[in-house]
Amino acid sequence: MKNVLLVGAPNSGKSALFNRLTGLQHKVANYPGITIDVGSGALRSDPRAQVWDFPGTYSLNAISGEEELAIDALRSALADERPAVVAMVLDATRLEKGLTYCLQVAREAARSKKPFLVLLNMMDILEHNKLVLDLDGLRASLGVPVLPVSARTGDGVEAAEVALVSASATQSPWADTPDALIEGSAQQIADRFVPQGELLVRRQAKIDNWLLGTASGGVAFVVIMTLFFQAIFTWSAPLMDGVEAFILGLGAWLVPLVPEGIFADFFEDAVFGGLGAFLVFVPQIFVLTLIIGALEDSGYLARAALICHRPLSYFGLSGKSFVPLLSGVACAIPAIYAARTMSSRQERLMTYVAIPLMPCSARLPVYALLITVLIPDTTAFGGLVGWQGLVMSGIYFFGIVSALIVAAVASRLGESESRKQAFILELPAYRTPNVWPIIHASVNRAGHFIQKAGSIIFTVTVVVWFLGYFPNGGEDLSASWLATLGIWIQPIFEPLGLDWRYGVAILASFLAREVFVGTLGTIFGIENADDDPAPLAERITESGLTAASGAALVVFFTIALQCVSTVALLARESKSTGFAMRLLLSYLVLAWIAAFAVHGLVSLF
Amino acid sequence: MSLWSLSVGASASVSSVASDSGNVAAQRLIDIGFRKGQTVSCLLQPGFGAPRVFALGNATYSLDKETADLVILTDDRPS
Ligand SMILES: Nc1nc2c(ncn2[C@@H]2O[C@H](COP(=O)(O)OP(=O)(O)O)[C@@H](O)[C@H]2O)c(=O)[nH]1
Ligand SMILES: [Mg+2]
């Protein structure tokens, strides 16, 4: 068993190479610092070797929590007795930025008697632009093996695999080099060998002139973000209709096959009513992840971070909060991980405060359901915009604005008036997004949701069904155990105009927001025992949910932190359970007050 | 003069990076190549005080004012 440690600067193509070497599909992204955990996989050509994809760092001197983790992980991997080879991935087109780190790691590797070699990546770009790099000269100066590769085309990867497997520790010229000399040598090597490729920078600058120009940049940003939110709804609509039709069809076909009685009831209410109501939203989650992935890989997100830096700093955040916040539109979990790249603890904590308010995709099913119930499916402005889509955008906007306001307030309240943190962000080259890894990541995310449906949501649905069905065999929901429980918590939700059925669904949704839809689906399924399977929205409409209560529900869901996984991860990442608990409580109280206010307001009309 | 005051399209060579009392940002700038004698140029100055874009070799970085002010340039040199 041999370990291959892939290290290098952010965006040098480590994950892309990792995918080539292992045949796995790790997420690649054109945004500095996107690898968050050390991924691993067996080398394709020799499964006895295990490849490790380390998070990118620019040097062994860490400036952020993420870098510290990465460097600690690397140091302990080097200290490990087992055989390992260190492979430094360098971006041939931006050689200078990785050289200091390269020599630092070469020295550490030499000290721990581990073989060290350089994988010179992105050779395809050099070739494409007819730029030359003196490989032999570079080898001689570095005193270590240098293998030209391209993770994009696969050129040179086989030779690299052979070199990785057969590498053995040799005398390294860097074993005893002091820091100052490392910097000097990095500089000399860069001066001698960096391909003179003004060309590359210039092409990128041309696009940046547009996307970062004072006026054009702002317009582009607004257009891209608008398209982003529109796409989430319009692109996924046909897919969602398809899934819904499929589930209803399946239900109509399967349920009659099950003998009448408790089993048929269970199937219809819990499985098709509860679980089915949730599964309808999986396509939307897929599309959302897909678009964020494509934006990231194109190189635009780093620009968006730059554009947002100033505006966000008024809210106690920074441009580096942008990617975590945008990821929060998909799910708070990856968003919290993405905040690891932030070097300032203060700004990171503020980002944590804002993330739970970002309209995550788990809220989507809830919003979509309530909108279908409350807002007529009509268009405005001569058919240009649908009211439902407009209201959905409004809800998203409300979530984002409240995230910013809360962050601003929290950062003003924060005790430490800590110094503003430096903003250093590498702008990656623009690239055509690499389609397959992005699709793969999106399928994974959708799959993750389905898994969640299979575990948490299914369990909750079954429990809710059980409590609602007994003790009277589904004859009378209002006399069930569930109703007893619901009536007990009724006082909390009554001021919002919500009866106990919603109270129970909200209570269950503190495990995960999507549970709300499944739970309601089950409850209404039991209530309408003899009906044909019908979409949940129809049943809610029939039950007569008022506009004021619907609005209160929406507001409650935009603010409340109803997600066990988020709370747990916040506690872990902030290294403070108190912080996570305070957030949970504050958002609960705030959500209730805001919902109460909105209920009162809407009732006036 | 500091890197922040470099006008768009101009380049100059780095004279020093103010690394007062172990400033992590300064150390990072040095690690990624902002070192004495290196040529840097300013590519873009987006409006409203947004971070500016600088080229160093083939890489581009965006730095905010506080950070760019850490980099001291030798006298202007026409590019
Ligand atoms: N043209 C080209 N692009 C590459 C190559 N290797 C990686 N990339 C792209 O560079 C970007 C960063 O790659 P990634 O693997 O995420 O870098 P990491 O941060 O080091 O893991 C992505 O957009 C990749 O598609 C290569 O050899 N050639
Ligand atoms: Mg990576």
Q: What is the pLDDT of residues A503-534, one digit of tens each?
A: 888 888 887 787 788 788 888 877 765 555 56
The answer to whether ipTM exceeds 0.95 is: no
- Contact between A336 and A566 under an 8 Å Cβ cutoff? The reply is yes
The band of A501, judged by pLDDT with boundaries at 50, 70 and 90, is confident
The whole-number pLDDT of residue A513 equals 84
On average, the pLDDT of chain A sits at 84
Separate counts of helices (H) and strands (E) for chain B: 2, 5
**A259-314: per-residue pLDDT in tens?**
777 777 777 777 776 677 667 767 877 887 788 888 888 999 899 999 999 999 88
Find the mean pLDDT for residues A170-181: 86
Rounded Cα distance between A557 and A592, Å, is 10
The whole-number pLDDT of residue B79 equals 47
Three-state SS for A385-414 is EEHHHHHHHHHHHHHHHHHHHHHHHHHHHC
The whole-number pLDDT of residue A420 equals 63
The secondary structure of A251-288 as a DSSP string is HHHHGGGS-TTHHHHHIIIIIIIIIHHHHTTHHHHHHH
The whole-number pLDDT of residue A267 equals 76
Return the percentage of chain A with pLDDT > 90, whole number: 29
Find the mean pLDDT for residues A167-192: 86
The band of A31, judged by pLDDT with boundaries at 50, 70 and 90, is low
Mutate to test the interface with B, among A419, A424, A430 (most CBs of B within 10 A): A424
Find the mean pLDDT for residues A161-180: 87
| A284 has a chain B CB within 8 A of its CB | no
Say which DSSP state A423 is in: -
Please identify, by atom number, the ligand 1 atom nearest to the C-alpha of residue A125. Answer: 1
- Contact between A546 and A497 under an 8 Å Cβ cutoff? The reply is yes
3-state secondary structure of A6: strand
- Contact between A60 and A18 under an 8 Å Cβ cutoff? The reply is no
The band of A460, judged by pLDDT with boundaries at 50, 70 and 90, is confident
Find the mean pLDDT for residues A390-419: 82
The whole-number pLDDT of residue B19 equals 65
- Contact between A361 and A286 under an 8 Å Cβ cutoff? The reply is no
Rounded Cα distance between A146 and A166, Å, is 14
Mutate to test the interface with B, among A90, A93, A188, A201 (most CBs of B within 10 A): A201
Distances (CA, A) of A226 to A131, A234, A362: 39, 12, 20
The whole-number pLDDT of residue A36 equals 52
The whole-number pLDDT of residue A452 equals 67
**B6-53: per-residue pLDDT in tens?**
999 899 999 988 866 567 788 889 888 898 888 899 999 988 888 999
Rounded Cα distance between A141 and A135, Å, is 10
A12 touches ligand 1 (CB under 6 Å): yes
**A305-339: per-residue pLDDT in tens?**
999 999 998 888 888 899 889 888 877 877 887 78
Rounded Cα distance between A82 and B42, Å, is 47
- Contact between A573 and A339 under an 8 Å Cβ cutoff? The reply is yes
A122 touches ligand 1 (CB under 6 Å): yes
Find the mean pLDDT for residues A426-439: 87
Find the mean pLDDT for residues A73-83: 89
What is the DSSP pairing of strand A424-427 with strand A385-386? unpaired
With a cut of 70, say whether residue A253 has pLDDT above it: yes
Partner-chain contact A423 B33, CB within 8 Å = no
**A129-161: per-residue pLDDT in tens?**
888 889 999 999 999 999 999 999 999 999 999
Find the mean pLDDT for residues A7-22: 91
Partner-chain contact A212 B53, CB within 8 Å = yes
What residues does the ion ligand 2 have nearby, CB within 5 Å? Answer: A 14-15, 35
Provide the CA A26 distance to its chain's centre, in angstroms: 14
Burial class (CB in 10 A: 0-12, 13-18, 19+), A1: exposed
Three-state SS for A323-390 is HHHHHHCCCHHHHHHHHHHCCCHHHHHHHHHHHHHCCCCCCHHHHHHHHHHHCCCCEECCCCEEHHHH
A13 touches ligand 1 (CB under 6 Å): yes
- Contact between A389 and A230 under an 8 Å Cβ cutoff? The reply is yes
The band of A591, judged by pLDDT with boundaries at 50, 70 and 90, is very high
